[in-house]
Amino acid sequence: MKKMLTILLVLAIVVSSVFANGGNEAKSASTVAKIGVSMPTQSLQRWNQDGANMKAELEKAGYKVDLQYAGDNDIPTQVAQIENMIMGNCKVLVIA
């Protein structure tokens, strides 16, 4: 009898802990992944559109986006921006 009661108690604890989280709660700001998007230049329409579209879609999906342009294909600037994105806790990098 004690063994059966112990099993039922453990099962009740497991089930209640599974449902205690809710599941329907919105993500808090601290749990939202940050994505860094590094574009080479703003002088071409293509990169402007790609950056804006990517940012809009990622934000719509619930991500925080850090979109940066490196000037006019300035590689040292882009490298510095990417390093800052890494230091800024970006979990994913998109580099063009």
At 79, which CATH number?
3.40.50.2300
Task: Identify the sign of the CA torsion 8, 9, 10, 11.
Answer: positive
Closest CA to 79 of 89, 65, 91, 93: 93
- Which residues constitute the domain of residue 80? 29-95
Measure the CA dihedral 51/65/86/82, to 10°.
20
The answer to whether residue 15 is domain-embedded is: no
pTM value is 0.67
Distance between CA atoms of residues 70 and 46, nearest Å: 14
Per-residue pLDDT of the chain (96 residues; tens, 9 = 90+): 655 545 544 444 544 444 455 554 555 556 899 999 999 999 999 999 999 999 999 999 999 999 999 988 899 999 999 999 999 999 999 999
The answer to whether residue 18 is domain-embedded is: no
Give the count of domains, the chain: 1
The answer to whether residue 13 is domain-embedded is: no
What's residue 9's pLDDT?
45
The answer to whether residue 87 is domain-embedded is: yes
The answer to whether residue 22 is domain-embedded is: no
Q: Write out the two tokens for 94.
A: 């998109």
